[in-house]
Amino acid sequence: MMPLPSKSRDDEGIFSVLLNTSPMKRSARWFIGSCLITALISLGACRPAADTPGGPAAGDNSTLKLLYWQAPTILNPHLSNGFKDSEASRITLEPLASFDSAGNLKPFLAAEVPSVENGGVASDGTSVTWTLRDDVLWSDGTPFSAEDVVFTYELLSNPDVGSTTAGTYETIESVEALGPTEVKITFKEPNPAWSLVFTGTTGMILPAHAFKDFNGANVRTAPANLQPIGTGPYQVTTFKPGDVVVYEPNPHYRSGVSFERVELKGGGDAASAARAVMQTGDADFAYNIQVEAPVLKQLKSGGQGQFVTSFGSLVERILFNFTDPNQTAASGERSSVDFPHPFFTDAKVRQAFSLAIERDTIADQLYGPAGQGTVNFLVSPESYRSANTRYDFDLDQANQLLDQAGWVDSNGNGTRDRNGTEMQVLFITSVNPVRQKTQEIIKQNLAVIGVGTELRSLDPAVYFSGDPASEDTVEHFYADLQMFATGNTNPDPGAYLKTYTCDEISQKANNWSGQNYSRYCNPEYDALWQQSTTELDTAKRAELLIQMNDLLIEDYAVLPIVHRADINAVSNRLTGIELTPWDLNTWNIDEWKRPNDN
């Protein structure tokens, strides 16, 4: 999930067309082929995909085929917490700059990276001035200017918009255009994390002329959410939410691209998406291959592609709901801060749950080399990874803690209770074989300590949609426990750690746009975060960020489970991919090509 996620952060692929047939026959072949592939791996259900007339035949070297089993539902990254939506958006939208894998800022819409040396960054940390490129046009031919940056800030900071990235921009006092190609950002206080804003995953700039009439509660009705106008290498020609996005080259992009068409197909499951790249060669790239370690090993034998693996900042974690999802406030709001959770507000109970979970078993059996058991919330960059924390698997101690907290099985039904309340939990996550098996392991662990667990899995297109009208999103969190993976999307983890501050609580009052889905509130934590926002000494600030991580862990505010590798399947024929943990996979898609491309 993105700030998030928390960046937060599911396969129906585009398969080859064997004959030059009509659109109807092509769709039928696609359906049959994808069902056979899915059946071989997971015996999963299949449904026909919506037909895309004019699609390329097999072997058409002009088309780049991407499989995202977590299908995008909106193409405005500031209105969703799903990495899937940001991935699809990043093909058309750009930030001022972004970080490469080494943590160096690379300009996109900016002409250069500001610094103290070149006068762009104020020596006291109170402002930063960006010089913009003067050769950029939006895909509709409108000139890009500093006014677009100003407008993007105005939209993101408007509480009526309910932007999911708004928290990153709260340090800003003002954004002003000093000229068409110069924009100055002034901060409320000295800011060591000036590079968090307008960069990377959460920094994509929106066109003012496309959103000027939608800077408010009507923002989700803007046509540009589904048919974006961008400055990136490709523009959207067709978008069917939850299914397919088709792109063609942006005629106004400032350099050439290799593909005449890009197809991003969503739905299905990770295993069949990987098989389409690794074994059948029917696709070029498959996103987020979250499958069990034995399946990964079997897929490697196909010879058509390779798995590109990197341990970035992704942490699979379990979130406690500090509010009661079974109570409803007078306003109609569930999981309201007016109703504390009946047992998760007790730190002893949260500690017992932590002691009962077999992190190493989950990591070894389900993730293999692609996962490491972890207790830290913040795992990357390594300089911020705490050495002060540890985790234990101790069922006896877990049982003792629940006894001390007054939760005992008074009626002999196998589940602990207190004052008439049974220790029953609803545990939700997205549809995914690894996550469902993780749920099963945890359910068995919790049963040993007398906790009853109901499991539920949700369609990731809904779960990570950020839709305030849906009750099944991570923001609403109408359950006791939920699980997903996210991490900091910037080498500076300040915005990521902000997600557990009191002001970030997701609730009806902020249209479910807050990033603190657990509704955890600790003044001590907030004070540390506030101090970190103005500490200009790098070493002292790092100490503060590590203290924040340690407080979350020692207070059992969140249960990190696995430090998870980011795994993608890449065709042997595809070159130019340069993955970074600090941006989306598609960040340099203008450089992707095949060796035999002209």
Q: How confident is the model at residue 13 (pLDDT cuts 50, 70, 90)?
A: very low
pLDDT of residue 140: 98
Residues 47 and 131 in one domain: no
What CATH number should be reported for the domain holding residue 55? Answer: 3.40.190.10
What percentage of the chain reaches a pLDDT higher than 90? 79
| 509, part of any domain | no
Average pLDDT of the chain to the nearest whole number? 88
pLDDT at 597: 52
Q: With respect to residue 12, please indicate whether it lies within any of the assigned structural domains.
A: no
Q: Are residues 421 and 473 in the same domain?
A: yes
DSSP string, 128-170: EEEEBPSS-B-TTSPBP-HHHHHHHHHHHT-TTT--TTGGGGT
| In a shared domain, residues 126 and 196 | yes
**Residue scoring higher pLDDT (391 or 290):** 391
Range 449-464 average pLDDT: 94
Cα–Cα dist 169/186, whole Å:
11
Q: Which of 35-49, 363-377, 491-505, 551-565 has the lowest mean pLDDT?
A: 35-49
Residue 128 scores a pLDDT above 80:
yes
CA–CA separation, 38 vs 30, rounded Å? 12
**What integer pLDDT is reported at residue 470 of this predicted model?**
92
- For residue 223, CA distances in Å to 209, 236, 253, 430 come to 12, 12, 21, 28
> What pLDDT score was predicted for residue 302?
82
In this prediction, residue 69 carries a pLDDT of 86
Choosing from 155, 178, 212, the residue where a domain stops is 212
> Average of pLDDT values for 494-508?
95
The answer as to whether 522 is a domain residue is no
- What pTM, to 2 d.p., does this model score? 0.80
Same domain, 184 and 288: no
Examine the domain organization and report whether 396 and 480 are in the same domain: yes
Largest CA distance in the chain: 75
Mean pLDDT of 194-207: 96
Give the mean model confidence (pLDDT) for residues 434-442.
96
> In this structure, are 324 and 394 located in the same domain?
yes
* Predicted pLDDT at 31: 30
At 38-81, the pLDDT tens digits run 333 333 333 223 333 333 344 457 999 999 988 899 999 999 98
Neighbours of 48 (CB within 10 A): 13
Query: What is the CATH number for 475?
Result: 3.10.105.10
> For position 90, what pLDDT does the model report?
98
Q: Do 124 and 205 share a domain, yes or no?
A: yes
Nearest 10 degrees: Cα torsion 314, 564, 467, 511: -40
Query: Which pair of tokens denotes residue 280?
Result: 């059948």
Same domain, 387 and 464: yes
Residue 56's pLDDT is what? 38
Whether residue 215 is predicted with pLDDT greater than 50 in this model: the reply is yes
> What is the predicted pLDDT for the residue at 72?
93
Q: How confident is the model at residue 301 (pLDDT cuts 50, 70, 90)?
A: confident
Torsion-angle region of 397 (φ positive above 0: left; ψ -120 to 50: alpha; else: beta): alpha
User: Is 327 part of any domain?
Assistant: yes
How much is the average pLDDT of 80-95? Answer: 94
Residue 439: the pLDDT is 98
Q: What's the total number of domains in the chain? A: 3
pLDDT at position 18 is 23
Chain segment 23-36, per-residue pLDDT in tens? 323 333 233 233 33
Burial per residue of 270-296, b for 16 or more beta-carbon CB atoms within 10 angstroms, e otherwise: bbbbbbbbbbbbbbbbbbbbbbbbebb
Of 117, 480, 475, the closest CA to residue 327 belongs to 480
Q: What is the pLDDT of residue 71?
A: 87
Q: Is residue 15 part of a domain?
A: no
pLDDT of residue 11: 28
Structure-model confidence comparison of residues 55 and 368, the more confident one = 368
Q: Are residues 421 and 467 in the same domain?
A: yes
CATH at residue 151: 3.90.76.10
Which helix (H) or strand (E) element contains residue 299? helix 293-299
Model confidence over 512-544: pLDDT tens digits?
A: 989 999 999 999 999 999 999 999 999 999 999
DSSP assignment of 71-108, as one string? ----S-GGG---HHHHHHHTTT---SEEE-TTS-EEES
In a domain, 544, yes or no: no
> What average pLDDT score do residues 216-225 get?
97
Task: Looking at the structure, tell me whether residues 321 and 419 fall in a common domain.
Answer: yes
The backbone torsions φ and ψ at residue 265, rounded to the nearest 5 degrees and listed phi first, read -110, 135
Q: Both 144 and 185 in a single domain?
A: yes
Tokens of residue 61, six digits: 């070297």
303 and 390, same domain (yes or no)? no
The two structure tokens encoding residue 429: 């996550």
Give the range of the structural domain holding residue 453, as residue numbers without chain letter. 315-489+557-564
Identify the band that residue 594 occupies on the pLDDT scale cut at 50, 70 and 90.
confident
Residue 505 placed within a domain:
no
Tell me, what's the pLDDT at 268?
80
**Percentage of residues of the chain with pLDDT beyond 70:** 89
Residues in the chain: 598
In-domain check, residue 523: no
